Amino acid sequence: MKKIMKNVLLSMLVVWGIASLSSAGLIAHYQMDEATGPLIDVVGGQIAAEVGSGHNYGVVRAGGNAVALEGNGAWQLSLAESTELNTLTNNFTVSSWIYWDSSVVKSGLNSNMIRIIGDDNPWDADCWSFGITDAGGLLFTKNGVVDAYSAVKPIVKDQWMLLTTVVSNTAGIEYYIDGDLVETNNNTTDCFVSGTHPGWFSGDEYDDFFALGRANGDGEEQWFSGAFDDVRIYDNVLSASDVADLYATTVPEPATMLLLSIGGLAAIRRRK
């Protein structure tokens, strides 16, 4: 009995530690379990409203629902939440489960850039975005200031993956895939300066909208294509062990990780 109680206590401590990790520094968390829009940030109750087209809710995924975009659509965050994200210039973390769908064909300029979350206002050099390139590399950009792409190309289509970027003014930009560090990018020149960059537009440092599934650069609307889930933004730096724990606590059961392409989901998803 003592041994059983000890194991129970240890399990409770592990759960408590995981819960503490998931909430420490967490300033935005979109679980994406909604059956209909809009999306709600469970941390602050802010609303992300639909823009564009092709929004799908209730996409079946182990452990809960996800949402998907099968066209040129996104969810635009509230101005209050966007302002908070705009002020993040260093020492923060962005994480999201994504499913890059090979069946979705995007249109628009520079459509090879796939943005998960980022500044939704044309190139004024004061905000950041996070996503992947057409070649399968991770990217972190600050409009008109820095483009930090991963040299390795670890992202594959038609597979759920947890992508995490840790932005640090001491360690650089760390890219994680499924809880593992794959690369550190030190191309951080001017990345950690708040407000506008000299020579670029000024006067609107913190009044840009952010969006989930789209970012904007010089009039180029760069859309996400596929499904995503559990988007989190922390105003602190997660350690390597923190990121590994985040993956371990949010990964679905291995036998049910496969998600059909969005084109084949009609029979099992609930539409808006």
Mean pLDDT of 262-268: 39
Q: For residue 121, is it within any domain?
A: yes
- Model confidence at 199: pLDDT above 70: no
Q: For residue 134, is it within any domain?
A: yes
Give the span between the Cα atoms of 44 and 41, in whole angstroms. Answer: 6
Q: For residue 15, is it within any domain?
A: no
Q: For residue 17, is it within any domain?
A: no
Give the span between the Cα atoms of 254 and 170, in whole angstroms. Answer: 36
Report how far apart, in Å, the C-alpha atoms of 244 and of each of 53, 95, 113, 178, 239 are: 34, 12, 27, 8, 9
Assign residue 218 the CATH number of its domain.
2.60.120.200
Instruction: State pLDDT tens for residues 93-151.
Output: 999 999 998 887 665 555 566 789 988 776 555 578 898 887 888 988 876 566 788 88
Q: For residue 270, is it within any domain?
A: no
Is the pLDDT higher at 209 or at 9? Answer: 209
- Model confidence at 255: pLDDT above 50: no
Task: Give the pLDDT of residue 33.
Answer: 94
Task: Give the pLDDT of residue 180.
Answer: 96
Instruction: State pLDDT tens for residues 98-109.
Output: 999 888 766 555
Query: What's the mean per-residue pLDDT of the chain?
Result: 77
- Model confidence at 268: pLDDT above 80: no
Give the span between the Cα atoms of 190 and 194, in whole angstroms. Answer: 9
Task: Give the pLDDT of residue 208.
Answer: 75
Q: Per-residue confidence at 197, pLDDT binned at 50, 70, 90?
A: very low
Tokens of 174: 């760390």
Q: Per-residue confidence at 190, pLDDT binned at 50, 70, 90?
A: low
7-16, 39-48, 104-113, 184-193: the lowest-pLDDT one: 7-16
Return the percentage of the chain with pLDDT > 70, whole number.
67
- Model confidence at 218: pLDDT above 60: no
The residue range of the domain holding 258 is 27-264
Q: For residue 5, is it within any domain?
A: no
Whether 175 contacts 185, CB under 8 Å: yes
pTM: 0.81
Q: Per-residue confidence at 66, pLDDT binned at 50, 70, 90?
A: very high
Is the pLDDT higher at 270 or at 153? Answer: 153
> The dihedral of CA 139, 180, 88, 85: what is its sign?
positive
Residue 250: closest CA among 84, 2, 93, 18: 18
Residue 97: closest CA among 183, 184, 224, 186: 224
Is the pLDDT higher at 221 or at 1? Answer: 221
Instruction: State pLDDT tens for residues 18-36.
Output: 444 556 899 999 999 999 9
Task: Give the pLDDT of residue 71.
Answer: 75
Burial of residue 244 (number of CB atoms within 10 Å: 0-12, 13-18, 19+): middle
Name the residue with tokens 């399990």: 11
Q: For residue 172, is it within any domain?
A: yes
Q: Per-residue confidence at 233, pLDDT binned at 50, 70, 90?
A: very high
* Domains held by the chain: number: 1
Q: For residue 11, is it within any domain?
A: no
Task: Give the pLDDT of residue 64.
Answer: 81
Helices (H) and strands (E) in the chain, counts: 3, 18
